[in-house]
Amino acid sequence: MRDDVFVIGVSMTEFGVFPDRSVPAMTTQVVREALADAGLDASRVGAAYFGNTGQGLLEGQTMIAGQLALREAGLSGIPVVNVENACATGSTAFSLAVTAVLAGTAEIALAVGVERMNIGDRARTMSLFDGASDVHRPDLLQQELIDLGGDVDLDRVGTRSPFMDVYAAFARAHMKAYGTTQEQLAAVAAKNHRHAVHNERAHFRKDMTVEEILTARPLAPPLTVPMCAPLTDGAAATLVCTPGVARRLDRKGVRVRSSVIGTGVRRDLHDYSRHVTRRTATRAFDQAGVCPEEVSVAEVHDATAFGEVLVSEMLGLVGEGQGGPAAVRGETTLSGRIPINPSGGLESKGHPLGATGLGQIYEIVTQLRGEAGVRQVPGARIGVVENGGGYQHGEEAVAVVAVLEG
């Protein structure tokens, strides 16, 4: 087995609402752009991992979506694996591509994620989220959310994904445990909206104040609409390769120090020490041989502003209970101690489920190459990506953490 892998090519479409862009068309775009970024021909790719969560339900294309889309993109005759792992689908495809190179089954492997969520039927799109928790025990989900965040009246709030109720319950539990406030959540969201102004690929590029976010339409208490990720279309791709291939190419390679997939264990709902993201992050940092204090920049899964608060703590980037105060103090801004989500995060950049994790990889690679322009983190050397998804017993059903070095 090999002991090193490099990211050598990345690409990402603009994220937004594009009902006329098909899954194969977006796939073709990002595959060709990633190959061009690396300076490679499609014939060099030895394996491909295709991430998508919604095409089966929303379009009826099941089982061979990757084979169909990738052949249109010019890739055929190689192993193609279809990947679906909740909102962590894209980063799971990335981890599998890394594993293929480490195992020696391919010198160059492709991870691509693509999602077309805006199909003109919002109710159908929203139903996609229903299967991301145990459909056989909906009563268990509701009871656990009450146990976490109390029994609140949600009848008067607007249409929303059930995961906004999940994140809202997570947030209320954290508020009770640590004194986190709605104003702190708004500070996280305001920071991310401000970052996205400088990201030409972001879904939303409007600067918003804390007050504007607090007074916006309520979604699920304590969350308001600008604190939550929109329904987004888009695609992203990453090429990984052996050190030998990386040395022969002109493009700067970014070293993959680790890429770890984790799932939960039995724990008390309020026990953060055994949270899936904390356990996965510990393994990722151990494998990478670095500590959280060495991280220059992070992209984390902020499907809501509270998601960033919790993940920043579980990664060890801030102390437990300090995610909200750190945002208020400006520690997580571009000019702060530990910049988080310079892309604007899911709240502003958007959340095309199968592409999200690879969009995060795109941002971190761009940062580590020193090519992020106005949103560049000076001297970025170590980047971390965290991508989670689904719900199982009080936490995400899956978490993926990757550590990259420029």
Specify the pLDDT at position 3.
81
Report how far apart, in Å, the C-alpha atoms of 405 and of each of 291, 294, 364 are.
Answer: 13, 11, 9
Local confidence band at 403 (pLDDT 50, 70, 90 cut-offs): very high
Specify the pLDDT at position 316.
98
Specify the pLDDT at position 152.
80
Helices (H) and strands (E) in the chain, counts: 15, 11
149 and 164 fall within a common domain: yes
Residues in the chain, total: 406
Local confidence band at 2 (pLDDT 50, 70, 90 cut-offs): low
Q: What is the pLDDT of residues 138-153, one digit of tens each?
A: 999 999 999 999 988 7
Alpha helices (runs of H) in 181-258, residue ranges in sequence order = 182-196, 210-214, 243-248
Specify the pLDDT at position 158.
64
Q: What is the pLDDT of residues 282-329, one digit of tens each?
A: 999 999 999 999 999 999 999 999 999 999 999 999 999 999 999 999
Residue 248 belongs to a domain = yes
325 and 218 fall within a common domain: yes
Question: How would DSSP label each residue in 250-284?
Answer: SSPPEEEEEEEEEE--S--TT-GGG-HHHHHHHHH
Residue 1 belongs to a domain = no
Local confidence band at 406 (pLDDT 50, 70, 90 cut-offs): very high
Local confidence band at 161 (pLDDT 50, 70, 90 cut-offs): confident
Catalytic entry in 87, 174, 203, 275: 87
92 and 164 fall within a common domain: no
Specify the pLDDT at position 156.
65
Q: Positive or negative CA dihedral for 92, 93, 94, 96?
A: positive
- pTM equals 0.97
108 and 163 fall within a common domain: no
Look up the CATH number of the domain holding residue 36.
Answer: 3.40.47.10
353 and 220 fall within a common domain: yes
Q: What is the pLDDT of residues 76-126, one digit of tens each?
A: 999 999 999 999 999 999 999 999 999 999 999 999 999 999 999 999 999
156 and 45 fall within a common domain: no
65 and 26 fall within a common domain: yes
Local confidence band at 184 (pLDDT 50, 70, 90 cut-offs): very high
Amino acid present at 113 = G
Mean pLDDT of 167-172: 96
**Count of domains for the chain:** 2
Specify the pLDDT at position 155.
67
Q: What is the pLDDT of residues 342-394, one digit of tens each?
A: 999 999 999 999 999 999 999 999 999 999 999 999 999 999 999 999 999 99
Catalytic entry in 136, 193, 351, 393: 351
Instruction: Give residue 247's domain range.
Output: 6-120+232-256
160/192 Cα distance (integer angstroms): 21
Specify the pLDDT at position 52.
98
Residue 87 designated active-site: yes
Mean pLDDT of 227-254: 96
